[in-house]
């Protein structure tokens, strides 16, 4: 997770907040604002609802801080709350999509990658282009939920497999399977589009 690099004793901060120093909560959550928002956005698919869900999640976390167990990571716990908030809101709103979070099959079907010989541009150059960013956003947003949530936590927010599994309450094995499929789906969809936008050939060295 892209958190602060300063050493923070979150357990101590939480204890202080529970003891009455509630203003410290602002500081506690700052490094996680983005991840919580991203988790919300990956469900709600529009910024206004995602912001609302994120705010609710931070408020719920504050009101339920006594239930936080020290053996968990605070960030993972927070993201789990955002996830539940987003899911229950979607259930309440009942319906934009009939896609079930639980019913989508993990294993079914094989995704073959897009075969391209000449898309090897330098990514940072591509990112400067607004249409490339929008294309990526769109492709990630359109992934089926069970792949999108894993991809967002692992490859957008850069949580590790264990943290992602904990936040989503699934196994590490499931994280790996879903992540692999999400990546291949995105490669298949995006590689031809990105190649067409920047036909320059560049070799990117491995590692």
Q: CB nearer to another protein: give 10 or 49.
A: 49
Closest CB to another protein among 103 and 124? 124
Closest among 93, 22, 14 to 53, alpha carbons compared: 93
Cβ proximity to another protein: between 22 and 104 the closer is: 22
Identify which of 136, 148, 137 has the alpha carbon closest to the alpha carbon of residue 87. Answer: 148
Q: How far is the CB of 94 from another protein (least distance, A)?
A: 26
When the beta carbons of 100 and 153 are compared against another protein, the nearer one is: 153
- Compute how many other C-beta atoms are within 10 angstroms of the C-beta atom of residue 45: 15
Q: What does the alpha-carbon distance between residue 189 and residue 171 come to, in Å, rounded to a whole number?
A: 27
- List of residues contacting another protein (CB under 8 A): 2, 22, 25-26, 30, 33-34, 37-38, 41, 47, 51, 54-55, 58-59, 62, 110, 112-121, 123-124, 126-127, 132-133, 136-137, 140, 151, 155-156, 158, 176, 179-180, 183-184, 186-187, 190-191, 194-195, 204, 206
Shortest CB 57 distance to another protein, Å = 10
Q: Is residue 187 classed as helix, strand or coil in its secondary structure?
A: helix
Tokens of 180: 């692999």
For residues 113 and 192, the answer to whether their CB atoms sit within 8 Å is no
| Closest separation in Å from C-beta 8 to another protein | 18
Cβ 111 vs Cβ 188: under 8 Å: yes
């Amino acid at each position: 997770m892209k958190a602060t690099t300063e050493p923070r004793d979150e357990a101590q901060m939480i204890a202080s907040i529970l003891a009455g120093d509630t203003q410290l909560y602002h500081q506690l959550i700052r490094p996680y604002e983005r991840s919580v928002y991203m988790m919300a956005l990956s469900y709600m698919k529009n910024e206004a609802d995602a912001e609302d869900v994120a705010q609710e999640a931070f408020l719920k976390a504050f009101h339920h801080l006594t239930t936080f167990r020290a053996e968990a990571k605070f960030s993972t716990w927070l993201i789990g709350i955002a996830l539940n908030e987003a899911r229950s809101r979607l259930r309440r709103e009942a319906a934009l999509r009939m896609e079930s979070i639980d019913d989508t099959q993990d294993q079914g079907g094989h995704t073959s990658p897009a075969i391209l010989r000449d898309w090897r541009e330098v990514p940072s150059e591509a990112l400067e282009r607004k249409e490339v960013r929008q294309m990526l956003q769109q492709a990630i947003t359109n992934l089926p939920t069970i792949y999108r949530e894993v991809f967002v936590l692992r490859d957008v927010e850069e949580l590790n497999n264990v943290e992602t599994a904990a936040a989503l309450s699934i196994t590490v094995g499931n994280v790996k399977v879903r992540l692999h499929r999400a990546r291949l789906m995105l490669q298949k969809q995006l590689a031809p589009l990105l190649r067409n936008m920047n036909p320059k050939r560049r070799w990117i060295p491995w590692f």
